């Protein structure tokens, strides 16, 4: 049994220079408070349905909506990310969160992992090494011992599954039809606070994600990826940043 002990040192690193994945409701609150939210788009070529026993593929499938790039079936993942450079706009004196009771789920979860396929590794976290030499039991075999943290993880996972139709509709409304090839990078779209808030307010959900029949463009900073995708009748383009018209490609 792998036991992890952890005591937060209040170093504040997890409240600086971040893009925090947030739910639609959290994004609206963040924007209403005057913060910024970006839209991160990535897509997975999905030419055939994976075997039902493939748990990782099933996890990805639940968090993506179906679409096409040229004639290639793909699945698109859209993440709303509360973004800030430097200190989080909600960070107060002595590294205290100014919206503690209403902070996003992802802040409640840190430094645990939301994705069950990513093992909890202290070296992948922002926390200093002394935090991991704490005395408080934090996780057993990577699963947090605190019921509130486990509940926040579940809520975060459920939001990713339940908001697919809204995110598909959001992209359509905002004219977003490009996504980075998954695992190679992200396409970060910034449409501005007022425009995003307006688009989010108008979203309607009919429960199930429909197929997005627009042809998406798959973006990569690797020539070989672009050439391979074009050879199978996908629409693909090379991009390596910098930001243009509110869109930026960031390689993994």
The SS3 assignment for 57 reads: helix
| Under rule CB under 6 A, residue 218 binds ligand SF4 | no
What is the closest distance, in whole angstroms, from the C-beta atom of residue 23 to ligand SF4 in the complex? 14
Q: Environment class of residue 27 by beta-carbon count within 10 Å: exposed (0-12), middle (13-18) or buried (19+)?
A: buried
What is the closest distance, in whole angstroms, from the C-beta atom of residue 198 to ligand SF4 in the complex? 23
Whether the CB-CB separation of 189 and 246 falls below 8 Å is answered with: yes
| Under rule CB under 6 A, residue 10 binds ligand SF4 | yes
Interface of this chain with ligand SF4, residues 85 to 144, rule: CB under 6 A: 88, 90-91, 97, 99, 103, 107, 110-111, 126-127, 131
Please, what is the end-to-end C-alpha distance for the chain in angstroms?
32
Segment interacting with ligand SF4 (CB under 6 A) among 6-14, 137-145, 179-187, 226-234: 6-14
The answer for 192, left when phi > 0, alpha when psi is -120 to 50, beta otherwise, is left
What is the closest distance, in whole angstroms, from the C-beta atom of residue 104 to ligand SF4 in the complex? 6
What is the closest distance, in whole angstroms, from the C-beta atom of residue 196 to ligand SF4 in the complex? 18
Q: Looking up tokens 């396409």, which residue turns up? A: 187
| Under rule CB under 6 A, residue 8 binds ligand SF4 | yes
Q: What six digits make up the tokens of 100?
A: 């503690």
How far, in Å, CA of 25 to CA of 31, rounded? 10
> By the criterion CB under 6 A, which residues form the site for ligand SF4?
8-15, 88, 90-91, 97, 99, 103, 107, 110-111, 126-127, 131
């Amino acid at each position: 049994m792998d036991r992890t002990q952890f005591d937060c040192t209040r170093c504040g690193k997890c409240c600086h220079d971040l893009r925090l994945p947030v739910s639609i409701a959290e994004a609206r609150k963040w924007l209403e408070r005057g913060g910024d939210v970006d839209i991160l788009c990535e897509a997975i070529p999905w030419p055939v349905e994976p075997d039902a026993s493939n748990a990782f593929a099933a996890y990805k499938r639940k968090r993506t909506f179906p679409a096409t790039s040229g004639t290639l079936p793909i699945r698109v993942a859209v993440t709303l990310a509360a973004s800030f450079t430097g200190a989080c706009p909600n960070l107060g004196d002595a590294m205290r969160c100014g919206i503690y009771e209403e902070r996003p789920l992802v802040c409640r979860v840190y430094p645990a992992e939301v994705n069950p396929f990513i093992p909890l590794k202290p070296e992948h976290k922002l926390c200093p090494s002394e935090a991991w030499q704490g005395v408080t039991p934090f996780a057993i075999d990577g699963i947090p011992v605190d019921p509130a943290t486990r509940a926040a993880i579940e809520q975060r996972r459920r939001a990713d599954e339940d908001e697919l139709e809204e995110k598909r509709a959001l992209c359509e409304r905002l004219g977003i039809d490009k996504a980075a090839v998954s695992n190679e990078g992200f396409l970060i779209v910034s449409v501005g606070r007022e425009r995003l808030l307006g688009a989010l307010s108008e979203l309607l959900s009919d429960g199930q994600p429909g197929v997005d029949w627009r042809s998406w463009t798959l973006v990569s900073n690797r020539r070989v990826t672009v050439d391979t995708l074009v050879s199978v009748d996908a629409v693909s383009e090379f991009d390596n940043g910098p930001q243009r018209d509110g869109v930026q490609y960031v390689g993994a």
